[in-house]
Amino acid sequence: MKVEQDLHMSRGDGETSYAANSRLQEKAILKTRPLLHKAVEEAHASLSGLSRAPAGGKMVVADLGCSSGPNTLLVVSEVLGAVVSRSCDHKSLVADVQFFLNDLPGNDFNLVFQSLDLFKKFAEKEFGEALPPYYIAGLPGSFYTRLFPDRSVHLFHSSYCLMWRSKVPDELASGEVLNAGNMYIWETTPPSVVKLYQRQFQEDFSQFLALRHDELVSGGQMVLTFLGRKNRDVLRGEVSYVYRLLAQALQSLVQEGRVEEEKLDSFNLPFYSPSVDEVKAVIRQGELFDISHIQLFESNWDPQDDSDDDDVATLDSVRSGVNVARSIRAVLEPLIARHFGRCIVDDMFDMYARNVAQHLEQVKTKYPVIVLSLKARR
**pLDDT tens sequence across 71-106:** 788 889 898 888 887 766 555 556 788 999 999 888
Q: Express as a percent the part of the chain with pLDDT over 90.
A: 33
> pLDDT, tens digit, for every residue of 99-111?
999 998 888 888 8
The residues spanned by each domain of the chain are 3-376
**Predicted pLDDT of residue 222:** 95
Give the number of other Cβ atoms within 10 Å of residue 358's Cβ. 13
The answer, yes or no, to whether residue 147 has pLDDT greater than 80, is: yes
User: In this structure, are residues 21 and 330 in contact, taking their beta carbons and an 8 Å threshold?
Assistant: yes
The answer, yes or no, to whether residue 14 has pLDDT greater than 80, is: no
The answer, yes or no, to whether residue 51 has pLDDT greater than 50, is: no
Pairing, β 289-300 against β 366-376: antiparallel
What angle, rounded to 10 degrees, do the helices at 191-215 and 276-286 form? Answer: 50
Question: pTM to 2 decimals?
Answer: 0.88
The answer, yes or no, to whether residue 364 has pLDDT greater than 50, is: yes
Mean pLDDT, residues 204-214 = 96
Q: For the chain, report the end-to-end CA distance as a whole number of angstroms.
A: 38
User: In this structure, are residues 309 and 42 in contact, taking their beta carbons and an 8 Å threshold?
Assistant: no
**Predicted pLDDT of residue 27:** 85
Q: What does the mean pLDDT of the chain come to?
A: 85
Phi then psi for residue 225, to 5 deg, are -130, 130
Q: Shortest CA distance to 201 belongs to which of 251, 297, 274?
A: 274
Q: Express as a percent the part of the chain with pLDDT over 70.
A: 88
> pLDDT, tens digit, for every residue of 213-272?
999 998 889 999 999 999 888 887 888 888 999 998 988 888 888 888 888 888 888 999
Query: Among 3.40.50.150, 3.30.70.270, 3.30.499.10, 3.20.20.70, what is the CATH number of 3-376?
Result: 3.40.50.150
Least confident of 16-20, 239-243, 288-292, 316-320: 16-20
**Predicted pLDDT of residue 369:** 92
Pairing, β 366-376 against β 216-227: antiparallel
**Predicted pLDDT of residue 93:** 57
> pLDDT, tens digit, for every residue of 29-41?
888 989 998 998 8
**Predicted pLDDT of residue 124:** 87
Mean pLDDT, residues 200-216 = 95
> pLDDT, tens digit, for every residue of 305-359?
777 766 555 568 888 889 988 888 888 888 888 888 888 888 989 999 999 998 8
User: In this structure, are residues 153 and 221 in contact, taking their beta carbons and an 8 Å threshold?
Assistant: no
The answer, yes or no, to whether residue 54 has pLDDT greater than 50, is: no
Cα separation, 188 vs 182, in Å, equals 8
Please report which confidence band the pLDDT of residue 130 belongs to, taking 50, 70 and 90 as the band edges. Answer: confident
